[in-house]
Structure 1
């Protein structure tokens, strides 16, 4: 299933790149999804290329019962975001992979962070959500899509608040 999304930020691409490389932002982003537990690490720095790895153990209360039998009462989401070094204007390219532990579901996406004039930027995600289960894969993809979109909207809210708290 093709999945695309945009997040608009009221800050320049360089500032958002620094945010995305901050462990405190990643922890806040992950905590906003109400996990049972989470952990994260950032390798590299916002001055260059960096990779963010996070793992969230999520309750499956909102997962349709047909899908819940594949994952149980919790599921582990492993997310890896890899970003290039910034261009002169702060623009970056990257990739995102989200794997669901214990389930054959994966999201692979291209990421782009681009300036939108002065003091604003847009992060875009363009990828594929795949569930490799014969006969029910499409149903699992459709069941996972709302959760992925909710996580993207949550990241936007957390990012906007994080940036607002750090304005001079």
Structure 2
């Protein structure tokens, strides 16, 4: 069993403008600070024709008690993003691990131009918890937290 997230965020920016934003280390640092990370360590940030980003993050866990027993009060996240050009837009393979925890998130992000200065940011993710009996509940909690984080990221990107 797993939970899937699919959403499309509308941007008043060209795909190339979004690509330029993603290529900025200042953007990466500011984004994770705005998301409320306790700590962020950018392990890899290779840019150019492709972007390879690996970030180790510690985030507060705003979870119900049953989930805190599994996940803890804070969570270490290892997030890997590999962005490449795809036609007139960009695509990312996303892998998120929670070291020592029975949870992972995988997905695909796409930036697609919809006009000269507008783009869609398409998010498709799958959340998978390998915990007997309560895995589905844990996936639901993480889905809610992930959606809240995506909302914060979208708001930050609009500034």
Q: Give TM-score scaled by structure 2 length.
A: 0.91
Residues 62-89 of structure 1: per-residue CA shift (max 9 Å, x gap): 21110101122211111111111354x3
Misfit runs of 4+, over 6 Å = none
Q: Does 1:94 align with 2:92?
A: yes
Return the offset for 1:7.
Answer: 2.2
- 5+ unaligned residues in a row in structure 1: which ranges? 162-168
Q: Does 1:153 align with 2:151?
A: yes
Alignment correspondent of 2:13: 11
- 5+ unaligned residues in a row in structure 2: which ranges? none
Structure 1: how far apart are the matches of 2:35 and 2:100? 20
Alignment correspondent of 1:66: 66
Q: Does 1:44 align with 2:44?
A: no
Structure 1: how far apart are the matches of 2:111 and 2:16? 9
Return the offset for 1:51.
Answer: 1.3
Q: Does 1:75 align with 2:78?
A: no
3-state DSSP class of the match of 1:53?
strand
Aligned partners of 1:97 and 1:108 also within 8 Å:
yes
Residues 33-90 of structure 1: per-residue CA shift (max 9 Å, x gap): 2121112241122xx1111222210122x21110101122211111111111354x3x
Return the offset for 1:156.
Answer: 0.9
Alignment correspondent of 2:106: 108
Return the offset for 1:147.
Answer: 0.9
3-state DSSP class of the match of 1:134?
coil
Structure 2: how far apart are the matches of 1:6 and 1:26? 21
Structure 2: how far apart are the matches of 1:78 and 1:7? 24
How many pairs were matched up? 156
Structure 2: how far apart are the matches of 1:158 and 1:120? 17
Structure 2: how far apart are the matches of 1:13 and 1:113? 6
